[in-house]
Structure 1
């Protein structure tokens, strides 16, 4: 008599939340492409403003003010949070620029590179000891960038800056004792005065697009909601899944972006660029295999 394996309902919920988060992030190019004609800087300003205001209501609804107030009462720690805020704002702005300038392939390459950048930062900054396969993966990614530079005469600077900014954000974010929702709110709260000054200046110069067109204004407001919702789904996944499972789900985001760039936006993929992607995909496969192999040893330890 065969026993039917029992599914863990929390794990199923976790996978559902994780898929929701990464699919939403993966579809971001479709959303930000709607802002055609509005500078990336202005879209970024509204994303910060409306994210912060939306999170005020959300944190109130979820009764999550305690960690936020605790963080705000420790100004010495806010310096690191401000650094995280500046890094994520730079990442957001550059990503919006990549979509608006029809360079989504570079953006997807940046997020494929991020796990390998994390490996490099862990080795250089935290003095972590890397597995041999992880070092080989990092070497493959570095070689791919060198080949692209040598053959095409240009660096994929959008990819590199997206990966470096997001990898650095993750590095410093680990040192901030705040959950994802509270942390994002405090980050946007610190940026809120700057964003408010910027939007006021744009209005003073007559360059603001807000309130000139009702559908576009609604989209600018919706950018705040679109920022917070996948983070909530990710938080639900992180509470229910192992880190290794989340790591594999993470590749859904840049894969969707890659497919959108090719088949919806019609971006061209040259032979050298394809070779770059293949080498980085091989590096990611080695990195994932190494992480999976080390999982039992970590569990025993």
Structure 2
């Protein structure tokens, strides 16, 4: 489909309520995710990610069977193009998972929240670079605010906020590619974790052999937490994929404020992470940028 330009009629079809329900549910579940990540914070991030992959397979598999979409999965496995795209999205989401698990365990949940606040503005940049869209003045101001915020953290806090940038970029690019993957949301997620299964089993075998594993060596508590990584991972991501298929890219960008707000509040008021004046100024610019971006979307819809 070719892009619509400002001088043309841009009447959009009404977005389905189911799309909003799926997306909001996904973001709320992601907002609570740091609480779970703190519970597995004593485990290596790579081990947690490996178990997230393996225990997501039965959850997604049951849903695919229930939806009777196994033929779609078989067709995807026979398509080299789909497999290549799925390998890329699988790599991106595993990187995102790994950084996020590590960040929460290291007491850097505020940086994680900042990353997901930046993500909608990354979506704007992706639209310009990959889809040939044009910046509006408000969008340019919003992106400028994000750049200023990153600059403040880089020079004022003594280092580039790489955790925030890595989370924002990896999930932003994942969301764009995942939306274009020629397969349904649940089947696509199942395909991704199947691709990641072999590396995950190698990681678990290596950690277990070294005597540092937590699945069968430290009691039923850790075992239960690692098994629970499956539904914790699969359910919100599948809900997100369903929502992304039904809603516009810009709408998803607005709804995404839900998760980082919950993460930020959890980091400050539950985890007790320090929130410096430098961070407060940087977040102020980010929130200003998001307000400008949201207003630009409302103006465009009118």
Q: Which stretch shifts more, 213-222 or 16-25?
A: 16-25
| CA-CA distance at 1:249 after TM superposition | 2.5
Q: Which stretch shifts more, 34-43 or 246-255?
A: 246-255
| CA-CA distance at 1:76 after TM superposition | 3.1
Counterpart among 76, 99, 105 of residue 104 in structure 2: 99
SS of the aligned residue for 2:274 comes to coil
Structure 1: give runs of 5+ residues left out of the alignment. 1-7, 297-301
| CA-CA distance at 1:14 after TM superposition | 5.1
CA distance in 1 between partners of 2:166 and 2:21 (Å): 30
Correspondence list, 1:1-301, <5 A: 11=17, 15-212=20-217, 213-235=219-241, 237=243, 245-296=251-302
TM-score (norm 2): 0.89
**Corresponding position of 1:5:** none
Tell whether the 8 Å contact from 1:244 to 1:292 is kept in structure 2 after alignment.
no
CA distance in 1 between partners of 2:36 and 2:278 (Å): 29
Q: Deviations over 1:148-173 (max 9, x none)?
A: 21222211110011011111212322
Q: Which stretch shifts more, 161-170 or 229-238?
A: 229-238
CA distance in 2 between partners of 1:38 and 1:80 (Å): 31
Aligned length: 287
SS of the aligned residue for 1:27 comes to helix
In the superposition, relative to structure 1, how do residues 34 and 178 fare at CA in structure 2: closer, same or farther (>3 Å)? Answer: same
Structure 2: give runs of 5+ residues left out of the alignment. 1-13
| CA-CA distance at 1:198 after TM superposition | 1.3
In the superposition, relative to structure 1, how do residues 81 and 237 fare at CA in structure 2: closer, same or farther (>3 Å)? Answer: closer
| CA-CA distance at 1:237 after TM superposition | 4.6
CA distance in 2 between partners of 1:184 and 1:135 (Å): 34
CA distance in 2 between partners of 1:202 and 1:258 (Å): 32
SS of the aligned residue for 1:174 comes to helix
Q: Deviations over 1:42-99 (max 9, x none)?
A: 0011001111232122211221212211111102331121011001000001000011
TM-score (norm 1): 0.89
Aligned CA-pair RMSD: 2.0
Q: Deviations over 1:241-275 (max 9, x none)?
A: 66655443221100000000000000111111011
| CA-CA distance at 1:239 after TM superposition | 6.6
Tell whether the 8 Å contact from 2:185 to 2:242 is kept in structure 1 after alignment.
no
